[in-house]
């Protein structure tokens, strides 16, 4: 992708405002941790790895006020979105860096500069990790294939390149012909607005469908694989991802289509045994009751808006990580990956 989703420039964080896509490419300038927190909450920046990276830079911004301010910012940022574990993983790295700085403060380096090195490393490593996920994942796809994906697990959701879309990009780089079916992904339309936008910009053959058309599309387009990203993967392989992922996995199982989850190892949460323990974010009902600022359901009705669901490990054909492809049963194997 030609545009950078997350950029650190002149001591500030610039986020490609994903709320404005695909109509306009505009950047949100953040000079405080609070602005970064608000950007995460309102989905100006979204996707598990991307919110971790943005939050890390948020801590850097706050550190101009000293270590206590940086610690307060880490706490504030940890309250922005509950499901993606990458957010907490990145903030932990920043808190550890803060502790290291306090211990070696005598070297005279400014706190902001010290923390910036850590945030930039998280950002840089994510891009390398995505490319490794792509390399491993593309080997699972046939020479000519149709892949169905949900939400946006692309360059926009990461430090660049993407996880699920990274596999698709890598397949094309390996000379394969890939056609993409993108679920629109109600209610925020990450598939229609973001996945289609970043793939079309690179000349991919991409077809947007309503979420309810997935089964018809699997049959019509002879889908070879479903590939999605993840927000948190429990020790047994149960995976939280954008709401609608679990029904897709059920469909894939029914039609004997492989169902792949592409994610960095920072998405693993081995402290929780199963998906039961994954906190599921519930977002404002206005995301459902209004469409592009216009009410689309009668006044007075309620809406329920869980942002994620949990796909049981039993429905996952393989997990594609930067350290290789893992197949079920996942227990033990995920710990081995981290070791």
Annotated active-site positions, please? 231
**What mask of x and - would describe binding to ligand MRU in positions 217 to 246, judged by CB under 6 A?**
------------xxx---------xx----
**Burial zone of 76 (CB within 10 Å; 0-12 exposed, 13-18 middle, 19+ buried):** middle
Distance CA 111, CA 102 (A): 9
54 by DSSP, 3-state: which? helix
**Given 44, 84, 208, 217, the residue binding ligand MRU (CB under 6 A):** 84
Distance CA 150, CA 141 (A): 17
At closest approach, how far in Å is the CB of 38 from ligand MRU? 15
The residues that bridge with 298 in the sheet, in sequence order, are none
Residues of this chain, 313-332, that bind ligand MRU according to CB under 6 A: none
Q: How far is the CB of 49 from ligand MRU (least distance, A)?
A: 5
| Closest separation in Å from C-beta 158 to ligand MRU | 5
165/251 with CB nearer ligand MRU: 165
Cα–Cα nearest to 337, from 227, 237, 239, 252: 237
**Residue from the set 167, 192, 307, 315 that interacts with ligand MRU by CB under 6 A:** 307
- The region of 27-35, 90-98, 139-147, 150-158 touching ligand MRU under the rule CB under 6 A is 150-158
Q: How far is the CB of 264 from ligand MRU (least distance, A)?
A: 8
Q: Hey, which residues does 179 pair with through a beta bridge?
A: 146, 205
* Residues numbered 34-73 forming contacts with ligand MRU, rule: CB under 6 A: 46-49
Site string for ligand MRU, 261-300 (x = CB under 6 A): ----------------------------------------
| Beta carbon of residue 84, minimum distance to ligand MRU (angstroms, whole number) | 6
Q: Is 120 exposed, middle or buried (0-12, 13-18, 19+ CB in 10 A)?
A: middle
- Alpha-carbon span 259 to 226, nearest angstrom: 5
- Please tell me the number of Cα atoms within 13 Å of 264 on its side-chain side: 32
Segment 190-219, which members bind ligand MRU (CB under 6 A)?
Answer: 190
The Cα 117–Cα 120 span in angstroms is 5
DSSP string for residues in 269-325: ETTSSSGGGPPPPB--THHHHEETTEE-S-TT-----B-EEEE-GGG-SEEEETTEE
Binding mask 155-194 for ligand MRU (x = CB under 6 A): --xx----x--------------------------x----
Q: Footprint of ligand MRU on this chain (CB under 6 A)?
A: 46-49, 84, 151, 153, 157-158, 163, 190, 229-231, 241-242, 307
């Amino acid at each position: 992708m030609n545009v950078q989703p997350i950029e650190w420039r002149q001591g500030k964080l610039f986020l490609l405002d994903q709320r404005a896509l695909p109509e306009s490419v505009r950047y949100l300038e953040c000079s405080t941790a609070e602005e970064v927190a608000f950007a995460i909450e309102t989905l100006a920046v979204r996707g598990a790895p991307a919110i971790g990276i943005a939050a890390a830079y948020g801590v850097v911004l706050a550190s101009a006020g000293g270590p206590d301010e940086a610690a307060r910012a880490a706490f504030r940022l940890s309250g922005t979105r509950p499901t993606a574990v990458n957010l907490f993983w990145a903030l932990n790295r920043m808190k550890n860096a803060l502790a290291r700085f306090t211990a070696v403060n005598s070297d005279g380096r400014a706190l902001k500069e010290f923390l910036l090195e850590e945030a930039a490393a998280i950002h840089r490593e994510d891009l390398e990790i995505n490319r490794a996920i792509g390399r491993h994942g593309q080997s699972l796809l046939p020479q000519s294939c149709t892949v169905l994906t949900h939400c946006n697990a692309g360059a926009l959701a990461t430090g660049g390149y993407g996880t699920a879309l990274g596999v698709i990009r890598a397949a094309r780089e390996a000379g394969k012909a890939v056609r993409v079916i993108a679920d629109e992904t109600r209610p925020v339309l990450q598939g229609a607005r973001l996945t289609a936008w970043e793939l079309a910009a690179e000349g991919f053959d991409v077809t947007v469908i309503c979420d309810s058309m997935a089964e018809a599309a699997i049959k019509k387009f002879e889908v070879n694989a479903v590939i999605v990203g993840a927000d948190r993967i429990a020790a047994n392989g149960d995976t939280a991802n954008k709401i609608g992922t679990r029904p897709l996995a059920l469909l894939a199982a029914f039609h004997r289509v492989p169902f792949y989850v592409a994610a960095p190892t920072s998405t693993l949460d081995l402290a929780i045994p199963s998906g039961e323990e994954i906190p599921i974010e519930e977002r404002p009902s206005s995301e459902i009751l209004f469409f592009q600022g216009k009410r689309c359901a009668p006044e007075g009705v309620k809406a329920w808006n869980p942002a994620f669901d949990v796909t049981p490990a039993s429905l996952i054909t393989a997990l594609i990580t930067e350290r290789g492809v893992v197949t079920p049963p996942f227990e033990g194997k995920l710990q081995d990956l981290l070791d």
